[in-house]
Amino acid sequence: MKAAVLTEQPGELVIEDLRIDKPGPGEVLLQVVGAGLCHSDLHFMEGLFRTHLPIVMGHESAGIVQAVGEGVTYVEPGDHVVACLSIFCGRCPQCLGGHPNRCANPQATSRTEGASPRLSRSDGTPVQQMARLGGFAEEMLVHENGLVKVIEEMPLDRACLIGCGVTTGFGAAVRTAGVQVGTTVCVIGAGGIGLSAIQGARVAGANKIIAVDLSPAKLETAQKMGATHVVDASQTDDVVGEVKELTGGGVDYSFEAIGRSATVRQAFDMLATGGVATVIGMVPSKDEVTLRGIDFLQEKKLQGSMMGSNQFRTDIPRMIDMYLDGRLLLDEMVSATIGLDAVNEGYQMMKNGEVARTVITF
């Protein structure tokens, strides 16, 4: 099967023909229908985060079950599924404590060391899977606990977006921060994740939702998603001041959806007394975040969010219902649909800041 492989860091993706194994115990073989281009793959392609090579990139996919391995009871061939990288074991303290997105036992849902690899080249070289999914490929072989069944009315080239970006942003607002009705929110960064956080804040009933970005086109999209106000960061050197002015002193909830220490600082500084800043973006591992200590006396909080604190097997079907009844906007987030061969061009468009989300269809 064809897949987009990262062979060096930094580097572009190379389309290769790979061998995919039969599903082992607990595993499911999928035919991929749609795959979203998420920013975190780009971080690996740019070498900001290290990984074992070669690796099939992509982790935002939806498809149809082809075959299941021994012991799989959750899905059967023909089922429509969305993959999520929050693959849970279901028995570690994090999973049992209600936080399967933090599962601390990835071994339980991976092949054992020394077993034949899920993916390999024709010469036998093992090939890794991004986030244990590897979604930029015609087929995927994944653990059943990384999948959620979805209803067939849901188009899979839209459902894939919920697998990572939408769950991450929407969940950060609704689950991690728990945005309350009537409150004020600011989202820094109006890419796929930020737009999803804006939608989460809208569905949760926030009164004011301020979007901050450098791109006027993205700010326009943000307004369609539910932003009530926008701040064009290319036109001001005082984003924090503008947000405070719009809200009479600061927001109840801020979200950083870029992954830079400077914008994390802005997210914290723009809070009202008692406000909560949630960092969704992946800040490069060498970077530190500096805060002014006295602000903690105002009971401001700073917290992280991993994959929107999801419980994806319940969250994703709910989000699909919201899409089907018009409350969750996904079509409006997709600015381009491409083939697998154009994956590098798709990432170039993302780097140029031209698009919210690009979807690969197969």
CB of 81 to Zn ion, least distance (A): 17
**Cβ closest to Zn ion, residue 130 vs residue 267:** 130
Tell me the closest approach of the beta carbon of residue 57 to Zn ion, in angstroms: 10
Q: Is 257 in the site for Zn ion (CB under 5 A)?
A: no
Which residues from 183-202 bind Zn ion, rule CB under 5 A? none
- Closer to Zn ion by CB, 108 or 289: give it: 108
Rule CB under 5 A: choose which of 29, 55, 72, 95 binds Zn ion: 95
Q: x/- binding map, residues 136-175, to Zn ion, per CB under 5 A?
A: ----------------------------x-----------
Q: How far is the CB of 71 from Zn ion (least distance, A)?
A: 17
**Residues 19-78 interacting with Zn ion (rule: CB under 5 A):** 38, 40
User: CB neighbours (10 Å) of residue 35?
Assistant: 33
Q: Between residues 19 and 102, which has the closer beta carbon with respect to Zn ion?
A: 102
Stretch that binds Zn ion, among 17-25, 71-79, 87-95, 319-327 (CB under 5 A): 87-95
Would you say 106 or 216 has its CB closer to Zn ion? 106
Residue 86 or 215: which CB sits closer to Zn ion? 86
Can you give the three-state secondary structure of the chain, one letter per residue? Answer: CEEEEECCCCCCEEEEECEECCCCCCEEEEEEEEEECCHHHHHHHCCCCCCCCCEECCCCEEEEEEEECCCCCCCCCCCEEEECCCCCCCCCHHHHCCCHHHCCCHHHHCCCCCCCCCEECCCCCEEEEHHHCCCCECEEEEEHHHEEECCCCCCHHHHHHHHHHHHHHHHHHHHHCCCCCCCEEEEECCCHHHHHHHHHHHHHCCCEEEEEECCHHHHHHHHHHCCCEEEECCCCCCHHHHHHHHHCCCEEEEEECCCCHHHHHHHHHCEEEEEEEEECCCCCCCCCCCCCHHHHHHCCEEEECCHHHCCHHHHHHHHHHHHHCCCCCCHHHEEEEECHHHHHHHHHHHHCCCCCEEEEEC
Name which of 66 and 105 has its Cβ closer to Zn ion: 105
Among 89, 197, 219, 246, binds Zn ion (CB under 5 A): 89
Q: Which of 28, 103, 159, 177 binds Zn ion (CB under 5 A)?
A: 103
Q: Contacts with Zn ion: how many residues (CB under 5 A)?
A: 8
164 versus 198: smaller Cβ distance to Zn ion:
164
Q: Which is nearer to Zn ion, 22 or 91 (CB)?
A: 91
Q: How far is the CB of 9 from Zn ion (least distance, A)?
A: 18
Q: At closest approach, how far in Å is the CB of 36 from Zn ion?
A: 8
Task: Please report, as ranges, the residues that interact with Zn ion according to CB under 5 A.
Answer: 38, 40, 89, 92, 95, 103, 105, 164
